[in-house]
């Protein structure tokens, strides 16, 4: 089955962009995913093809109009009726690997890219649109966020990464950052690869990796660590909560 990506944007020429290359590019050729871009401006109704207007209440910049966005989203739904619609906005829920996995399990994704000061809020009331952020940064447009999310989805599609690397040992997959990696040469500028990785003892290697993943998550990402250690310390069955 082909994972259907639809991108609503004022800059369709930005796609597939970097997704034309490497893993994603090959997967596109192999039709493991498909890409359709929708020019938001095509849904403007006046002769100047206006998509934005000044913010109600005053202030800098321009806001994307709800009527134009609504028509563009409706069009995308006709193209891909089952796909969830994600609007790119720093006000949204930060994207996670878990959400990416859910998206990949579905028929595809429709991504709405903002520009200027963003969207008229009423689009989120009038249409079933999920607000998603790439993280606590401000981009000039939603397109790089859309490319990042599509890239994260595509690499998980069946057949894209090859059988050996299912991606399940990566950062976030088990709630932890990945352990540090090393490769030859054994010595570089006086620095050596940790001895345990050369021991050939698979159990010892696994234990070392786990402890490094935990230590690094704890020091670098206290937010992830808290969630991980809460889940770990809570009995899986919930049996203790019975009395």
What minimum distance in Å lies between the beta carbon of 160 and ligand SAH? Answer: 24
What minimum distance in Å lies between the beta carbon of 33 and ligand SAH? Answer: 21
What minimum distance in Å lies between the beta carbon of 94 and ligand SAH? Answer: 8
Is the sign of the CA dihedral 222, 170, 209, 190 positive or negative? negative
Which secondary-structure segment (H or E) carries 108? Answer: strand 108-112
Q: What angle do CA 80, 91, 75 make, to 5 degrees?
A: 20
* 89 near ligand SAH, rule: CB under 6 A: yes
Distance CA 112, CA 132 (A): 10
Q: Which of 19, 28, 38, 88 binds ligand SAH (CB under 6 A)?
A: 88
Q: Which two tokens stand for residue 210?
A: 């786990």
Distance CA 153, CA 145 (A): 12
From residue 107 to residue 146, what is the string marking binding to ligand SAH with x (rule CB under 6 A)? ------xxx-xx--------------xxx-xxx-xx--x-
Number of H-type helices and E-type strands within the chain: 7, 9
Total of residues contacting ligand SAH (CB under 6 A): 18
Residue with smaller CB distance to ligand SAH, 140 or 237 = 140
Distance CA 193, CA 197 (A): 7
Query: Which one of 24-32, 83-91, 174-182, 204-212 is the stretch in contact with ligand SAH (CB under 6 A)?
Result: 83-91
Can you give the binding site for ligand SAH, defined by CB under 6 A? 88-91, 113-115, 117-118, 133-135, 137-139, 141-142, 145
């Amino acid at each position: 089955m082909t994972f259907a990506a639809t991108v609503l944007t004022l800059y369709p020429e930005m796609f597939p962009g970097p997704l034309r290359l490497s893993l994603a590019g090959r997967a596109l050729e192999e039709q493991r995913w498909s890409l359709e871009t929708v020019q938001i401006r095509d849904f403007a109704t006046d002769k100047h093809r206006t998509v934005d207007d000044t913010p109600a209440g005053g202030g800098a910049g321009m806001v994307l109009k709800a009527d134009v966005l609504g028509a563009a989203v409706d069009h995308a739904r006709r193209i891909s009726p089952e796909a969830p619609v994600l609007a790119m906005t720093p006000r949204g829920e930060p994207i996670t690997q878990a959400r990416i996995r859910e998206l990949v399990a579905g028929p595809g994704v429709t991504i709405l890219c903002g520009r200027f000061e963003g969207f008229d809020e009423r689009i989120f009331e009038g249409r079933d649109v999920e607000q998603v952020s790439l993280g606590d940064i401000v981009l000039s447009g939603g397109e790089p966020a859309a490319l990042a999310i599509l890239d994260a989805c595509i690499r998980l599609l069946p057949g894209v990464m090859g059988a050996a690397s299912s991606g399940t040992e990566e950062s976030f997959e088990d709630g932890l950052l990945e352990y540090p990696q090393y490769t030859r040469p054994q010595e570089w500028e006086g620095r050596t690869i940790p001895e345990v990785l050369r021991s050939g003892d698979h159990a010892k290697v696994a234990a070392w990796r786990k402890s490094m993943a935990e230590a690094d998550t704890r020091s670098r990402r206290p937010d992830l660590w808290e969630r991980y250690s809460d889940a770990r310390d809570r009995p899986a069955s919930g049996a203790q909560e019975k009395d």
